A and B are shown apart, each in its own frame.
Chain A
Amino acid sequence: MALGKFHSSLIVIIVVLILVCSSAHLDVFFMANNNSLICQNDIFYKMFGQLRSSIAAILYLKADRYFHGGTSHPKHNAGHSCLEGEVPHEHVSKQNNEIWQPVNDDQDIFSRLNKAISYKPVQHLNNAKSAEIMPWFELAVLADPYYIKAYIVGGYWLGIRLGKSDKAIRFLKNGLRYNPKAWEIYSQIGDIYFIMNNDYVKSIAYFRQAYLFLPREVNNIEKRHVLTLLAASFERIKDYEQSIHYYKKILELYPRDNKLKRRIQGVKKLAGDAQIVNGEF
């Protein structure tokens, strides 16, 4: 007996959903941001690439919105979003210039209704609830595997704030599959090995890669971060020579940093003490 129109269309829908849900990697769909010559010259792939990037950006913003409990606000004066900030902070009413205010405040009944329905003072989710933001990072990279920011911020939250370092590393390594020269991802993996796993050998390996791929135009703050943790990792495994080598590289960027100079002196002293201990003098 032939299937009716309804049953046929239902089967088609179920098959499509299964394909989507099985997360089949349709690489051809993701070729748009690939540097291959074919993709660069193909308008179809370029168009899709732009759409996927836009979707991924929207999904990333969703994470930010979730973190702020359902409201959004402009970036802080520091220029980065709250998700990217290393230092946890709260939005307090005194900081009026950073608090989102609804437009047309109380001008008419519509504005008042809108405010009552859609406005809430901005606040961050606490640690336990902040896990709610994680799905959006995974969805963002699913939409655009070349969206590096989603990997590093997601990896930071997963590995360092939520303490799931193994999953974070796996997530970030997946990002490296599509972005093999993304120094940010190497750096983030290094951070997790250093801070959470205390695995300095691996952190060195990743920070080295990050330093290798660091573009010249990256700002000094980012360079300093990579070099500092690389140097600190060497320090932890007592390879003081390498540690001093990398601290000196930071000094080249910040020649007047007296605190850094004292740090280098400190490491030299440790190196000296180590030589005494090992009988080298």
Chain B
Amino acid sequence: MLIVKLIAINIMREIFRKKDIYVFITMLLILMVYLANAAFFEIKHIYRYMNEIGLGLVFLFSIIIAVPNAARLMLEEISGKTIYPLLAKPIKRVHVIAGKFLGSLFISWISFGLFFLLFTVISLLKQGQGDWLLYTQVFMGGIIMLAVLNAMTICLSVFCTFSTTVTLSYTIFFLMSWFGANMREAFYRLPILGEIAYYLLPHFEFFDLRHRLIYEWSPLPLWVMLSIFGYATLYVACLLFFVFKRFQKRWL
């Protein structure tokens, strides 16, 4: 566990030294402040548009940080030949995978957390009040979504090049977010393919709970949140298993 933690911390150091995250925080802050002060037709007490755009940016920026970061972790380690002194130490390949995944995950979670915190503060200042349970559920949904996204991207990275991994990750993510529920209907001419896509591809739309906050719907019941969490855990475990199997046999 210590080895995994050390590898994860190493990865997190990089993101804070690369400073990408600060650029996104600054952009988000500027845009959120602008949106909060925007007066559409000088109508007061409207804020849903701000929640929608703000949350959209929070999720978008988090995905922009998560996918390329996760995609390059294994690939850069191997192509940069830093894997050799690493694996020459008494650590297993599974430690490397676990450490990479956790490091990438923590980066995503930290950046998402910072963005979400910024959004929440500005949103609540504008609204005056809010349903804490809804905010928590949206946050949890985002956290779980990033876990699946990171796992999927790392899994793709052990099979594909960097650019292919990034492209495929974004494609699958947006495809499933927008059309996941209707995947079978979308493939009405190829029903078998539709069934395969429906059951195999990750349903990112389950984790996107933004609309519930934006439109002020009621919070989700516990069984739904637990189901989402269980689905994500199972999916991540399967993906990491594939990563392990592939990486175990990989020639370095």
Q: Do A104 and B184 contact each other (CB < 8 Å), given the known contacts A6-B23, A70-B214, A116-B221? A: yes
A118: interface (CB < 8 Å): yes
CB distance B181 to A132 under 8 Å?
Answer: no
Bound Cα distance A114, B180 (Å): 9
Residues of A within 8 A of B45 (CB): 131
CB distance A14 to B30 under 8 Å?
Answer: yes
B206: interface (CB < 8 Å): yes
Segment of B36-44, B64-72, B79-87, B167-175 in the binding face: B36-44
**Closest B residue by C-beta to A102:** B181
Residues of A within 8 A of B252 (CB): none
Interface string of B25-62 (1 = CB under 8 A from A): 01100110010001011110111110010000000000
CB distance B224 to A116 under 8 Å?
Answer: yes
CB distance A120 to B26 under 8 Å?
Answer: no
Residues of B within 8 A of A21 (CB): 34
* From B42, B47, B205, B228, contact of A167 by CB (8 A): B42
B131: interface (CB < 8 Å): no
How near does chain A come to B91, taking the closest CB pair, in angstroms? 33
How near does chain A come to B24, taking the closest CB pair, in angstroms? 10
* From A10, A114, A136, contact of B206 by CB (8 A): A114
Bound Cα distance A134, B44 (Å): 11
Residues of B within 8 A of A103 (CB): 181-182, 185
How near does chain B come to A188, taking the closest CB pair, in angstroms? 15
B215: interface (CB < 8 Å): yes
CB distance B41 to A138 under 8 Å?
Answer: yes
Residues of B within 8 A of A171 (CB): 41
CB distance B30 to A17 under 8 Å?
Answer: yes
Interface string of A72-116 (1 = CB under 8 A from B): 000000000000000000000000000000111000011101101
CB distance A10 to B205 under 8 Å?
Answer: no
* From B22, B48, B205, contact of A132 by CB (8 A): B48
How near does chain A come to B41, taking the closest CB pair, in angstroms? 5
CB distance A131 to B43 under 8 Å?
Answer: yes
A215: interface (CB < 8 Å): no
* From B38, B206, B217, B221, contact of A70 by CB (8 A): B217
CB distance A6 to B19 under 8 Å?
Answer: yes
Residues of B within 8 A of A13 (CB): 23, 26-27
B203: interface (CB < 8 Å): yes
**Closest A residue by C-beta to B208:** A117
Subset of 18 A-B contacts with CB under 8 Å: A13-B27, A17-B27, A103-B185, A110-B181, A110-B199, A111-B181, A114-B181, A114-B205, A114-B206, A116-B221, A117-B212, A117-B224, A131-B43, A131-B45, A131-B46, A132-B46, A132-B47, A134-B46
Sample of 12 more A-B contacts, CB < 8 Å, known A14-B26, A69-B215, A113-B227: A6-B19, A9-B23, A14-B30, A17-B27, A102-B181, A114-B180, A118-B181, A118-B205, A120-B215, A135-B49, A138-B41, A171-B41
